[in-house]
Structure 1
Amino acid sequence: MAKKQLNVALIGYQFMGKAHSNAYRQVARFFDIEVEPVLKVICGRHEQKVRAAQERFGWQEYATNWEDVVARNDIDIIDIGTPNNTHAQIAQAALKAGKHVLCEKPLATTLEDARASYELAKKSGLVHGICHNYRFVPAVAYIAQLVREGRIGKVRHFRATYLQDWIVDPNVPLVWRLDKSIAGSGSHGDLNGHLIDTARFVMGTEFAEVIGLQETFIKKRPLLADTEGGLAGFKAAQDMGEVTVDDVTAFLARLENGATATFEATRLAPGRKNYHRWEINGEKGSIVFNQERMNEFEIYLTDDPQGVQGFHLVQSTESFMPYMSAYWPVAHIIGYEHTFINLVHDFLLAIVRGTPFTPNFEDGYRNQAVLSAVERSCETRQWTKPEK
């Protein structure tokens, strides 16, 4: 019996374009999936570069105008991997055109735009997803299961850090992630955005109120000579420009389940490349996860026998753990790219089975509401409640 085919259009072709393209190519090679994604068209502004991406990533066609792609009758899914300031516009146009939409985070650069996208998606009857791929790390999904089952009891604390160092050098030029008009925010939206979503997912709770602080330590940087510059291979110009986003944002939170939480995100932590680490403390134990060691986690349980209590290292590669039965024998690890494969698997199944996908645009809006509340609290220096 022939599988149902879904034609995919990917808007964007750089970092996330590579990750998403690979996921669509690989998903049926690992999962016995009842639908076949067709890599129909990849779209970007610069013809030479998007044509090269088409050939490299295995798409049938390329295009340079996303509006034309969204309007095509032969496209079922619009996948958005463009800079942040275009997410809302493309997502809303795609929903109005009757397309299922998978959007890279953030859902938008403002809370108003995020709400508009969520409201439109809710009314559309279409499948919509926000690409928080860290939910699809098997260890993270399994930890969420343990917490929901009460293995560590009532949760009291969640503490998280996301540390990077890729802009420690003040000569790193003004790439788009340092421009508020494009990115929306700096380390806060980019890194704290992941931590916020993880906290909501793992504990199944929302944020009650927050208070934060932000700082931009390197306030001017060289302009970018190559407008297509990314995280490597960029060229700096002689003239200087203003950095309009935060270098670091830290905040405290009270959660609706009664737990307290702390969050810190910075791109100015020398030696930290992608240190995405968090810890949960409950009345019966604690769990620790570090994304740099994504195939394992640590757990401490108070009901372990006296004399052997302590943090135990758990390999998250057992076949009974989420997603792992699709891959290798136990202790044969998977990587970053597999988180996108797992996500795409669930997204495609939601479409073909007519079931909701999570994280969806509601999650994108809820995350944006927390990000926005933190920014407001930094200005007022007061505890602030996220909008509902």
Structure 2
Amino acid sequence: MSDSPPLRVAMVGYGFMGAAHSQGWRVAPRFFGLAAEPVMDTIVGRDAARVEDARVRFGWSRAETDWRRVVEDPRIDVVDICSPGSSHAEIAIAALENGKHVLCEKPLANTVEEAEAMTAAAERAAARGVRSMVGFSYRRVPAIGFARRLVAEGRLGAIRQVRALYLQDWLSDEEGPMTWRLDKEAAGSGSLGDIGAHAIDLVEHLTGSLLSGVSGTLATFVQERPLLGETVGLSGTASEQRGRVTVDDAAWFTARLAGGHAEGAIGAFEATRYATGRKNALRIELSGSRGAIAFDLEAMNELQFYDATAPAGEQGFTRILVTEPEHPYMANWWPTGHAIGYEHAFSHQVKDFVDAVTGGRDPEPSFADGLHVQRVLDAVERSAASGSAWTSTERKEA
């Protein structure tokens, strides 16, 4: 790696995603042969003491409290945005206009209009060789890559039905404190955008199809929560004051798919942070004319495959352990049978991003892909608000 040119990275944000992205930047160049070496140059946050603490813990060289100085710094090559959604558009557009490659966490923005502006900026920047990508990290789970290969090879035939659920329970305690993720101004939406966006993107990624219309329902079960009091480290303690929850706690919607391997298919989607006992259960099932696949993130090194073309007496879901070197990314990790974890998807994300930047290619998923997901989220919200039986993702009726 010492002979590789540096790619100096500045990361905005230092919370949960900041920690995960830091792991990716730190580890990827040590396991993958990258054409440029990522240098963890600057970490950015508004609170000087907390961002300095994060700098030391995560391994960045410098700490900064003003992202504007970073995007204008000629030393910086990449801006990685891990801050709340309300800040994405302003930071990303400024970074792209200053010639920085941009990796931006999902969902791309808080509104369709913001996502449209970001996509337009990305398209202008691409004409100058400046690259951008939205961080749907679960695309980089090896079992997902393997599942996509099976779909592309026609092993499922024509996909007819899709089921996609993202189930968590971290909000099931109604006395759990408020966070920015429960504030619509900061987060844009609740379970729908926070975790539902992953389910939408994975279905479209696996099938090559797009959600063309939706019918949705949203619910907020707990209307108020304790505000955070005194800060302790990077977290806080609950106070006696309460704040109003302004986002959804759970979202359900049906969808129609168009194009790709799931033309004309129907889908059922659920995203909730109230599924008691489910910690991080992103569950995808695709049912086709020749077979089916099922994936659960809580067993992320496995894929269930059903071959409907096998003799009747041999049919049944087969558990495939996705740890062979033939599986996506796995040749760079451990011997066969040795599992990898959640954090590895972020190393894979860095690998793919750096490969695209150094190879002069636009990485995937693009800001345009993120914009489409934003339009789906918007359509679900509009459907739920109006009680409409069907809402186009293209806002044709607006």
- Shorter-chain TM-score above 0.5: yes
Q: Secondary structure at the match of 1:225?
A: strand
Equivalent residue for 2:394? 387
Q: Deviations over 1:171-230 (max 9, x none)?
A: 112111111010111000011100000011000011111000011111111122247897
User: Displacement of 1:258 after TM fit?
Assistant: 0.8
Which residue, 276, 285, 288 being the options, matches 1:270? 276
User: Displacement of 1:385 after TM fit?
Assistant: 0.7
Work out whether 1:344 is the aligned partner of 2:350. Answer: yes
Equivalent residue for 1:63? 64
Equivalent residue for 2:36? 35
Work out whether 1:81 is the aligned partner of 2:82. Answer: yes
User: Displacement of 1:305 after TM fit?
Assistant: 2.5
Equivalent residue for 1:371? 377
Q: 1:218 to 1:229 in 2, by over 3 A?
A: farther
Q: Deviations over 1:91-119 (max 9, x none)?
A: 01101111000001111100000010001
Q: Secondary structure at the match of 1:95?
A: helix
The within-5 A match list for 1:225-304 is 225-226=229-230, 233-256=235-258, 257-304=263-310
Equivalent residue for 2:123? 122
* Percent of aligned positions that are identical: 46
Q: TM-score, normalised by structure 2?
A: 0.95
Q: CA RMSD in A?
A: 1.3
User: Displacement of 1:16 after TM fit?
Assistant: 1.0
How many pairs were matched up?
A: 386
For 2:91 and 2:303, the matched residues in 1 are separated by: 37
Equivalent residue for 1:331? 337
For 2:64 and 2:287, the matched residues in 1 are separated by: 49
Q: Secondary structure at the match of 2:222?
A: coil
Q: Secondary structure at the match of 2:247?
A: coil
User: Displacement of 1:55 after TM fit?
Assistant: 1.4
Q: 1:278 to 1:228 in 2, by over 3 A?
A: farther
For 1:102 and 1:323, the matched residues in 2 are separated by: 20
Equivalent residue for 2:168? 164
Q: TM-score, normalised by structure 1?
A: 0.97
**1:229/1:235 contact within 8 Å kept:** no
**2:50/2:233 contact within 8 Å kept:** no
Equivalent residue for 2:360? 354
Q: Secondary structure at the match of 1:172?
A: coil
Structure 1, unaligned runs of 5 or more:
none
Structure 2, unaligned runs of 5 or more:
none
2:31 counterpart letter in structure 1: F
For 1:8 and 1:41, the matched residues in 2 are separated by: 7
Q: Secondary structure at the match of 2:313?
A: coil
1:387 counterpart letter in structure 2: E
2:53 counterpart letter in structure 1: A
